[in-house]
A and B are shown apart, each in its own frame.
Chain A
């Protein structure tokens, strides 16, 4: 029976008994001095366990010892890791700052795809059209009146040179147009990409000169300029006209 009481006293402290069983055990303990002492001792032990135990804080020492005993990184490497982490943080801050500034000052630099620029297009197109418009219109007038004025034939008649008919610029020109001063007349030939230009220097009446320029479209116009025929003192009478062929 005594062993059974001890077991039930343990169950009492372990709060495994219901209230009826608790009252029964407590009633039995009151009549058993040994059991009563056992209960009092157990109660005292439980109370002592619940009280805090005073002892020194050794956390720092323990952690410091653990830290010192970490064998996978040396202190120097650990400092480098720390510095690296700090640098990465600063870099991130810098990137954010630069991006913010770039969006403010150079918004185009912050986008990967080209952004439409309609105002730029209007302004630049307007400039280009204004520059080309008058020239295009003048060329259109020139195209329209060239067959009327028969300019190639007129120029050939002007010079009245027997060699003129041999010059392709006047034999097969589709149209002649002004291209510059003092008097540059450009004749487009039938052959694709082939252009000849006749230049008339009209400034000094007594040294009037006619040059023909064979144009290679891939080369600058001026570089191709070469005098072929010089007409000095061009007058309406053949007696006063001398034609010299510089090229021959």
Chain B
């Protein structure tokens, strides 16, 4: 067998195939990382746009070393370390850093801290990926010295190295001005080969395979992080920048990040200031649309339906719309109240909804050993704005006080709304009244149609729970380093745009 025959034999494992892939990957890396002159948003978008056409996920990060040292970067690093969620990865990274003779932080900064691109695409046995990083020549030399790459072949004067029992392939190159590139892929990866061929042949790459995705990314606010995720049936683009806080702007097809897949034709969306008013001041709040494609939410919904409120929700379904909001608040006396605001789609809903709510109160009271008082028969239909209150007894492990109650009423703003609150028995009626006032708050002109608005304040929420004796597992305790997570998603034509802001305490 001649060298050429050997190289051409086999589907993906021939030496020539590997060599071509290595060189193609190298060329692609070169094109990706050196074809841009400015370290700005356009260049990051350009990096992403030149990835192979079948890439499912492309992440490009500029100056990750700086991002790590920002306040929010340090907070997130602390969360990762303290939660233990990435404990094995952290240990493995420490080993890698030790092998390189660096601290783990230095290893991050020198290996990934300048410009790094991760490309993932579906592969035969899982995911195929490639990591390309722009490093200094000292780091490139360090990699070659400490990781002991084994030269496999020399193609076009460019060596392709094998790493760690041949599990990975490494291509490095020195550029001008002291820079260098390294590209690492799993053995046999053809990820960048196709993309490089497309680039070299002048064939359009990523954007043409999913029209609009790169343009959508380009339309976002400038940032240091660019992400393009393109699963089957849609795409999502993200831009993020970090300083004191992490601010991400996103655009996605409906159902992927926000809202149901069928959104949003025929949906009544939230008015912006309405949703914000309901979430205002809450420790945890969300205003969104029912029917989310998220499996976890569907499962949680199924659990609620199967719980003591089964039948209640079933009875409410004919009268409730798609807009639903909830808010967890700290009461004046340090207890917790949970507000629920649900859209009603019929003016005559009062009677059936009252009966369903009374049934729910009875169910909750039965499970918690509380009392149940039958409501006055005349109240629901005659005084819609009256506060209905039923005792739940001891419920919610003391979070709602020694005695808790459920109160509800109705509010009017762009239609009818059911406003319910579970909280301390003594003050819950007032909580329900305040919730209704928020639900009826007058418009301030911020009426951009919202798909979802919400806030989570992990730091304050976890402190409140801990103060009531709720034992919190380590992964949750680590979230104390996060002050707030706020999101706002709105409809923009056929797409859903959103902004997510993560802040330290």
Contacts and interface: CB of A to CB of B under 8 A. Distances in A.
A122 B189 CA distance: 18
Contacts of B399: 148
B99 interface: yes
B475 A202 contact: no
B165 interface: yes
A147 B396 CA distance: 7
Contact of A137 (B186, B300, B475): B475
B96 A119 contact: yes
B473 A140 contact: yes
Interface stretch (B48-56, B307-315, B375-383, B424-432): B307-315
B168 interface: yes
A126 B85 CA distance: 10
Contact of A154 (B165, B308, B475): B308
B359 A236 contact: yes
A236 B358 CA distance: 13
A143 B473 contact: yes
Interface in B3-60: none
Contacts of B156: none
B386 interface: no
**Most chain A C-beta atoms within 10 Å of own C-beta, residue among B87, B472, B473:** B473
Interface string A107-143: 1100000011111111111101100110011111101
Nearest to A126: B89
B358 to A, nearest CB: 12
A181 B295 CA distance: 9
15 contacts: A104-B151, A115-B165, A117-B164, A122-B89, A122-B93, A137-B83, A137-B475, A144-B472, A154-B308, A156-B367, A157-B308, A181-B295, A181-B299, A200-B306, A236-B359
B88 interface: yes
Interface in B292-322: 295-296, 299-300, 302-303, 305-308, 310-311
B477 to A, nearest CB: 9
Interface of B: 83-89, 91-93, 95-96, 98-99, 147, 150-152, 162-168, 184, 186, 295-296, 299-300, 302-303, 305-308, 310-311, 359, 363, 366-368, 395-397, 399, 465, 470-476
**Most chain A C-beta atoms within 10 Å of own C-beta, residue among B93, B165, B397:** B165
B469 to A, nearest CB: 9
A117 B167 contact: yes
A116 B89 CA distance: 15
Give me the 10 closest cross-chain CB pairs, A-B, nearest first.
Answer: A118-B96, A236-B311, A121-B92, A125-B88, A140-B473, A108-B165, A117-B164, A157-B367, A125-B92, A133-B85
Contact of A144 (B89, B163, B296, B470): B470
A109 B89 CA distance: 27
Given A106-B166, A129-B88, A136 B475 contact: yes
Contact of A119 (B163, B310, B476): B163
B88 A128 contact: yes
Interface residues of A, number: 51
A158 interface: yes
Nearest to A128: B88
Contacts of B396: 148-150
A107 B162 contact: yes
Interface string A221-248: 0000000000000111000000000000
A124 B305 CA distance: 39
Contacts of A151: 307
A106 B296 CA distance: 45
A104 B152 contact: yes
Contacts of B474: 140
Contact of B87 (A104, A129, A144, A182): A129
A5 interface: no
Given A104-B150, A144-B471, A120 B395 contact: no
A72 interface: no
B89 A157 contact: no
A129 B147 CA distance: 24
Contacts of B86: 126, 129, 133
Contacts of A124: 92
Contacts of B300: 178
Contacts of A133: 85-86
A155 B307 contact: yes
Contacts of B302: 182-183, 200, 202
Contacts of A181: 295, 299
Interface string A79-116: 00000000000000000000000011111100000011
A132 B85 CA distance: 8
A177 to B, nearest CB: 10
A124 B167 CA distance: 12
Contacts of A64: none
A203 to B, nearest CB: 10
Given A129-B86, A150-B395, A118 B99 contact: yes
A138 B150 CA distance: 43
A213 interface: no
A153 B307 CA distance: 9
Contacts of A115: 164-165
Contact of A178 (B98, B164, B299): B299
Contacts of A120: 164-165, 167-168
A121 B150 contact: no
Contacts of B162: 107
B92 A105 contact: no
Nearest to B99: A118
A138 B368 CA distance: 25
A151 B303 CA distance: 10
A39 to B, nearest CB: 84
A169 interface: no
B119 to A, nearest CB: 14
A154 B95 contact: no
